[in-house]
Structures are given as C-alpha cells and as structure tokens.
Amino acid sequence: MSFYRNAVWFVKGLQEYTKSGYEAAAKQFNTGDLDVNLGGRSFVITGANSGIGKATAHEIAKRGGIVHLVCRNKERADEAKEEIVEHSKNQNVHVHIVDMSSARQVWEFAESFSKSNSIHFCVCVYVLVLISLTAHIVMMIITPLLQITVSSGGMLVQKMKVDDLQSEKGTFDGTMAYAQNKRQQVILTERWASQHKEIHFSSMHPGWADTPAVQLSMPDFHAKMKNKLRTEAMGADTVVWLAVSAVASKQPSGLFFQDRMAVPTHLPLASSRSSSADEEKLQAILEQLAHKFKP
C-alpha cells in the first residue's frame, strides 16, 4: 500500500504542488481577497524567520497587522524582524524566542503570551509545529479567533499510527515520521473544529516551495526539482489567504486547503482513514503527555 500511496502522491505533486501547479490554480484566485487592512489585529506566527513563515509575516505586516514572530534563534529572528519592518514600514513586529520542540517552553510561551495579549482577537498561524503535542498545548491555552496549521501534502501517504506516536517501531524513517506528524495535525484540526466552535480552524499544504528546509533536509529532491519549485511567496499564499481573507473565514471550520481550495485529506483507495476511536485515543494521549510538561 505504501508503494501505491507514494506513487499516486508523487504524480499528483508533479501536477499540482509545483510552480506550474500554483500558476494554473492562481488563474481562479480573486486578487481582491487579500485587499484587507489588518490594523489592530494580532497574528502569532511560528517558524517566522525563514521560508513560508517569513513570507507570511511579510504579507501580514504589509497589511498593517500586529505581528508576533515566534522563533528559536534570536539572531535570525532579529534579522527577520528588521527585514520585515524595513519592507513593510510596519513597526508593530515583535519577537518571541521559543524552541517549538520543547513542550515546556511552548507551555511557558503560551501562558505568558495569553496573559499579556488579547488572545481572543488574535490569529495563530502555526507554520512550524514540530510535534503534534506542542500544537495541542498551545491549543489548550491560546484560544484565538482563527488557527491555521501548515501541514503538508506528504501526510497523504500516511495513515495515523496511534500505537506508535514516537516512531519507535520498525526502522526509523525521518521523512515518514514527518508525514505522520503532518497527518496527525490534519486529524487534530478536524477534531478541534468539531469541539471548539468559537475558533475557526484550517490546515493546509503550501505545495513544494524552494526553502532552506527543502534545500537542507531533502538535497536530492531539491537538486532534481529546483526549477519546478514554488517561490516562498507562492508557498505562503494560501496561509495568508486563510489568515486574512473574509472569504476564507466563511469556509467550514476544520478543512484542509491547497491553493485557496478545500481539498480531500485522503488519496483515492489509499486506506489511510483512521477510526474515530483511534482519533479519540490520539487526543487523549496528547492531553496526558501535555500535562507531564506543565511548568
């Protein structure tokens, strides 16, 4: 089954996830959707000093939003802030240093941020959620108006494995562990949407964009595909659309988007759906784990 899923997914990717896939989809975009003044609205963006996260922060700052860059490296975060302020002429850009792989740091950040900011009017854009656990922690503390999680089309090749959430069984494969987490994020988005009606949730796939992550983590893929990859701005387009456009916020909560359209979360005949009992178990395990890291 995994050979079937991988093959179908790659052919789909060549048609849809590339730069030409974006250009074809963009013919249907309504450019007016992004003509929005974001003055007074706050946006928390993780993974914001590079790639899709930085491109998203740029677009939001250009429209006057209050931008909170959540980054792990102070130097790179400050550089990104300077660049965004210079290009957008928006001084309302703030840096928060958090290692998103540390559940404890994520707790501490979410708690202190929620005390000092009006979180109920803010938008959380999780460009980078390293493990589903950290998304769950932030979700429990910060209850924004909108929550967008950047997942990946790569999740289509995975069925959620609730009995092996730490990828301990069999031979470890980093790419598949990544895709497994991205699958979990899509499932969690659907479940949160059905449980928290006051928040509008979406997950999305940015397509294949030429970013440092792709260059460094997938050098062979990057070398073969570099002329076909999207720009960072193209990868960020649907993130920005979900975060700012009125049309996007009228879509049902909990959907998975690609190029401003809700798209299926399973490949045809891929047997990748999990049972609702397994999805419930995933949430229960994350909740238990999250409490272990509570400061």
Ligand X SMILES: NC(=O)c1ccc[n+]([C@@H]2O[C@H](COP(=O)([O-])OP(=O)(O)OC[C@H]3O[C@@H](n4cnc5c(N)ncnc54)[C@H](OP(=O)(O)O)[C@@H]3O)[C@@H](O)[C@H]2O)c1
Q: Say whether residue 139 binds ligand X (CB under 6 A).
A: no
Which of 93, 100, 123, 242 lies at the binding interface for ligand X (CB under 6 A)? 100
Within residues 218-257, the interface with ligand X by CB under 6 A covers: 235
Smallest gap from residue 229 Cβ to ligand X (A): 7
Angle, vertex CA 268, rays to CA 267 and CA 270, nearest 5: 70
- Convert residues 56-75 into a mask of x (bound to ligand X by CB under 6 A) and - (unbound): ---------------xxx--
Q: How many CB atoms lie within 10 A of CB 79?
A: 15
Main-chain phi, psi angles of 94, to 5 degrees: -125, 145
Which of 110, 139, 142, 150 binds ligand X (CB under 6 A)? It is 150
DSSP tag of 134: H
Closest approach, Cβ 17 to ligand X, in A, equals: 8
Q: Does residue 51 interact with ligand X by CB under 6 A?
A: yes
Which residue blocks in the chain are alpha helix, DSSP H?
Answer: 2-16, 19-26, 51-62, 74-88, 103-116, 132-141, 174-195, 212-217, 219-225, 232-244, 246-249, 276-292
User: Is residue 47 a contact residue for ligand X (CB under 6 A)?
Assistant: yes
What's the CA gap between 185 and 193, in Å, rounded? 12
Distances 182 to 83, 160, 216, 292 between C-alpha atoms, Å: 30, 9, 19, 23
CB 86 within 8 A of CB 204: no
Burial of 218-248, coded b for 16+ CB within 10 Å and e otherwise, reads: eeeebeebeeebbebebbbbbbbbbbbbeeb
Q: At closest approach, how far in Å is the CB of 244 from ligand X?
A: 18
- Tell me: does residue 25 bind ligand X (CB under 6 A): no
In terms of CB distance, is 208 or 256 closer to ligand X? 208
Among 21, 53, 65, 144, binds ligand X (CB under 6 A): 53
Minimal distance in Å, beta carbon 265 to ligand X? 15
Q: Are 254 and 190 in contact (CB under 8 A)?
A: yes
Question: Could you say which residues in the range 72-91 bind ligand X, by CB under 6 A?
Answer: 72-73, 76
Q: Is 155 in the site for ligand X (CB under 6 A)?
A: no
Q: Which of 33, 78, 99, 111 binds ligand X (CB under 6 A)?
A: 99
Choose between 141 and 276: whose C-beta lies nearer to ligand X: 141
Tell me the catalytic residues: 178
Q: Which stretch binds ligand X (CB under 6 A): 85-93, 124-132, 164-172, 284-292?
A: 124-132
Is 101 a binding residue for ligand X by CB under 6 A? The answer is yes
Amino acid at 161: K
* Contact predicate 237/19, CB 8 Å: no
Residue 208 interacts with ligand X (CB under 6 A)? yes
Q: For residue 45, what is the enclosing H or E element?
A: strand 42-46
Residue 190: phi, psi to the nearest 5?
A: -65, -40
**From residue 256 to residue 295, what is the string marking binding to ligand X with x (rule CB under 6 A)?**
----------------------------------------
Minimal distance, residue 276 CB to ligand X, in Å = 26
Point out which residues bind ligand X (CB under 6 A).
Answer: 47, 49-53, 71-73, 76, 99-101, 127-128, 130, 150, 152, 205-206, 208-209, 211-214, 235
